[in-house]
Amino acid sequence: MPDHGVDNISPLTFSFEGKESYSLGERVKLRYRVTNHSNSQYFVLKWFTPLEGILGDILKITYKRRRIPYDGILIKRGQPSIDDYVLLKAGEVREGSIDVSASYSLSKAGVYHVTFAGVIWDLTKDLPDQVGKRSPEEFTRFQTPKSKIVLTVKGRGKSVDTEGQVQRKKEKRDPRNLRSGHANEPQIKGGSEGDKAATKAAHNDAYHYADQGRINVQQEGGKNPQTITWFGAYQSKRHKRLHGVYNDVAETLKNEKITYDFNGSSCQASWYAYTYKDTRTIYLCNMYIAAPFCGIDSKTGILIHELTHAVSGTSDHAYGLSGAKQLAINGPDKAVENADNYEYYIENLPIWLETVLFVMQKTT
Ligand SMILES: [Zn+2]
């Protein structure tokens, strides 16, 4: 859950309400209410709040004391647009509904405890045209009081499929054990000829990035400065995870068929791309198309970000360079589960700089 480095107490609160009980197979929908308790208006960033639905792991749901894993959409977001903010006037109350069963599998009858951790990523009194220019580095986070409810699911039968399950059922998997030193040919749906060519090149580079990632995290026994910058102080369990993610992404790129789809119907203006856990399809949105080929937030880096979600089940605890770096310092256990950290680590490896210089020397 996105809850690091939050110490401001929010003037907004969120509360939830559900039915007394739900039957298995029925969608579990909750009503939410957000209230501005202050005397001034606020623009609230919808990200990771119920105001945008459930577009991230925003709920902690437990069943018999075990956490139900999040199985909904996983997004790489860029700078928020004005549309990503909601204006709440002084004293205003907003209500809506969220479909919990689309993102969490409530597949057994019994009692579920649902908690909204209540992190607001950005809250500001500014005018919307200024808000539209805010980058994740400028966000002011707020913590609202945690909001908990208990719900009961009854009966027998089949529960509603989560979005992740729906996606996995659509895919055919045929892993090989290819010994090549390069990425397997991807499938690309939609996009212009230029988008397709750029994505094929980014896909091929993503293999080399992930391969270099798994090599680099082993250097100096996992204690080299880049690894510490992006993933925190060395610790064997974290190091194992870190190496495992790059390794699994590299092996998947080599041995499996990845599909890139430019026709994803969920894309929003401020998104680069999205995917689902344990799938092999990456949906590419407008900000990906506009992204540069190398450097920070590059096409290849975006694919790496998404592949760590799809292949290794990473999350989005923080976005952006400074957010990712802060996470390595304040929450290294989360840094090794955060997709942007994997992306920025390899986008910042000095080896690419050497490659660029080498190419420059060759061409001049
Ligand atoms: Zn992401």
63 CA to centre of ligand 1 in angstroms: 26
Give the pLDDT band (50/70/90) at residue 6: low
The DSSP-derived string for 236-282 is HHHHHHHHHHHHHHHHHHHHS--EEETT-TT--TTEEEEEETT--EE
Q: Is the pTM of this model over 0.85?
A: yes
Cα of 271 vs centre of ligand 1, distance in Å, is 10
How far does the centroid of ligand 1 lie from the alpha carbon of residue 338, in Å? 8
- Given the structure tokens 């892993």, which residue do they identify? 175
Residues with CB under 5 A from ligand 1 (ion): 74, 76, 316, 339
C-alpha 281 to ligand 1 mean position (Å): 14
Candidates 203, 188, 185, 287; CA nearest to 249 is 203
pLDDT of 75 reads 95
Neighbours of 118 (CB within 10 A): 21
Which amino acid type is present at position 309?
A: H
Report the separation in Å between the CA atom of 340 and the middle of ligand 1, taken as the mean of its atom positions: 7
The confidence band for 356, taking pLDDT boundaries of 50, 70 and 90, is: low
Task: Say yes or no to pLDDT of 4 above 50.
Answer: no
Give the pLDDT confidence of 254-304 residue by residue, as tens digits: 999 999 999 999 999 999 999 999 999 999 999 999 999 989 999 999 999
Question: What pLDDT does 172 receive?
Answer: 86
Q: How many angstroms separate the CA atoms of 4 and 324, rounded?
A: 11
Give the distance (Å) from ligand 1 centre to CA of residue 129.
26
Structure tokens at 246: 């790059």
- Say which range, 65-69, 137-141, 272-276, has the weakest mean pLDDT: 137-141
pLDDT, residue 169, reads 96
Give 15 Cα–ligand 1 centroid separation in angstroms.
26
Between residues 354 and 38, which one has the greater pLDDT?
A: 38
Query: Considering Cα of 15, then 21, then 24, then 25, what sign does the dihedral take?
Result: negative
Whether residue 360 is predicted with pLDDT greater than 60 in this model: the reply is no
**pLDDT computed for residue 316 by the predictor:** 93
Whole-number pLDDT of residue 236: 96
pLDDT value at position 2?
44
339-347 and 193-216 helices cross at what angle (nearest 10)? 90
The mean of the pLDDT values for the chain is: 91
Q: What is the pLDDT of residue 361?
A: 56
Q: Is the pLDDT of residue 82 over 80?
A: yes
What spacing in Å lies between the alpha carbon of 308 and ligand 1's midpoint?
A: 9
For residue 195, the CA-to-ligand 1 centroid distance in Å is 21
353 pLDDT more than 90: no
CA of 142 from ligand 1 middle (Å) equals 21
Does residue 7 carry a pLDDT above 60? no
* Residue 362: other Cβ atoms inside 10 A: 7
**19-54 pLDDT tens trace:** 989 999 999 999 999 999 999 999 999 999 999 999
Place of tokens 């990523």: 121
The alpha carbon of 310 and the centre of ligand 1 are apart by a number of angstroms equal to 10
Q: 307 C-alpha vs ligand 1 centroid, how far in Å?
A: 9
Span from the CA of 315 to the centroid of ligand 1 (angstroms)? 6
